[in-house]
């Protein structure tokens, strides 16, 4: 008889933000110098964002991922050479190829294990965690390093106040291990390519030149309308798969895009405000890095504890969305 598929559990979390914190007032002043009007009140009212972090010149996604990964490994009590799978979720890779995961693998001194990037934009970490969970359950890996890392400041149009105030840079990481005890209870992933145009970077590289537009473009109202609905659907889907209800939730850790989307999802799940983990005010939208950054902040502050039932969910360009339900 075949042994039952193992469970998977997060055994360590880590994160890293670049040192430069850019508050709204500083960003508004920079925009004013370009002749663009904005204000701290305008940004906070619409997004909940008060600050974000920008990477220095020459700092790459793998540079941000490395200290986050090292912190997660330390928290898990694992050496880098005990990892047998590296997955990096990113929309801002170091190079066209090889994968940022391979570059991170080299920086960690790991040799031989699979390492690949996953591109699902702001849903990237949820997708990556789901893939790593599946690989561990099928015996293809036993200990995975799953990272979300972004340098979105490199693809922002600072003449567009509707997008440049939203995003920041950072990295978050987890160690996911095979376990005899349940951890990840259910996952749920979706995409709808009909909505590619509402959030995208519509450019590419060909013949040594940039073709198209290499900067973030977003229809904010369209994203908002889609996001609230699909996040509720995905949350209810993972709860149903796990045989749980919203009353079982201890924490909601959503993609940190916009405080109104986050609060709207919490209300639909009948969760009190103090069960919603919020870091968007200080981090901005860090795309694939936002959920692991928020998870690490909640774990290290003592809010999320062992045994808590946690819902992670993300939504992003593609249009992609998904959720992971776990007993931390």
Positions annotated as catalytic residues are 122, 255, 285
Chain centroid to Cα 56, Å, comes to 21
C-alpha 135/C-alpha 140 separation (Å) is 5
The set of residues, in sequence order, having a beta carbon less than 8 Å from that of 98 and lying 6+ positions away, is none
CA distances from 175 to 5, 26, 84, 197, 325 (A): 19, 36, 11, 34, 16
CA distances from 78 to 44, 73, 74, 113 (A): 40, 5, 6, 16
C-alpha 73/C-alpha 230 separation (Å) is 33
Maximum distance among all Cα pairs of the chain, rounded to whole angstroms: 71
The single-letter DSSP state of residue 97 is S
User: What tokens appear for 23 in the block?
Assistant: 């508050």
What's phi and psi for 101, nearest 5 deg? -60, -40
The single-letter DSSP state of residue 285 is B
């Amino acid at each position: 008889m075949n042994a039952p598929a193992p469970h998977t559990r997060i055994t360590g979390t880590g994160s890293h933000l670049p040192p430069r914190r850019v508050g709204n007032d500083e960003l508004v002043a920079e925009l004013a110098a370009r002749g663009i009007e904005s204000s701290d009140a305008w940004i906070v009212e619409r997004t909940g964002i008060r600050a974000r972090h920008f990477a220095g010149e020459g700092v790459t996604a793998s540079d941000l991922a490395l200290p986050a990964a090292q912190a997660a490994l330390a928290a898990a009590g694992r050496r880098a050479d005990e990892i047998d799978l590296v997955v990096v979720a990113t929309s801002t890779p170091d190079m066209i190829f090889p994968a940022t995961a391979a570059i991170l693998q080299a920086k960690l001194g790991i040799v031989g294990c699979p390492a690949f990037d996953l591109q699902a934009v702001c849903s990237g970490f949820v997708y990556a965690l789901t893939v790593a969970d599946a690989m561990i359950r099928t015996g293809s890996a036993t200990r995975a390093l799953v990272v979300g890392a972004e340098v979105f400041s490199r693809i922002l149009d600072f003449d567009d106040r509707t997008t440049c105030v939203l995003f920041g840079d950072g990295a978050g990481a987890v160690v996911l291990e095979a376990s005899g005890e349940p951890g990840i209870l259910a996952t749920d992933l979706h995409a709808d390519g009909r909505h590619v145009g509402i959030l995208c970077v519509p450019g590419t590289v060909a013949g040594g030149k940039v073709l198209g537009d290499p900067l973030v473009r977003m229809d904010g109202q369209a994203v908002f309308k889609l996001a609230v609905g699909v996040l509720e659907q995905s949350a209810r889907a993972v709860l149903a798969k796990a045989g749980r209800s919203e009353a079982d939730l201890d924490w909601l850790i959503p993609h940190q895009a916009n405080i109104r989307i986050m609060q709207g999802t919490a209300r639909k799940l009948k969760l009190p405000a103090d069960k919603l983990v919020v870091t968007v005010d200080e981090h901005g939208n860090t795309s694939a890095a936002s959920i692991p950054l928020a998870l690490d902040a909640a774990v290290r502050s003592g809010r999320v504890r062992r045994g808590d039932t946690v819902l992670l969910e993300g939504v992003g360009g593609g249009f992609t969305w998904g959720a992971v339900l776990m007993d931390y």
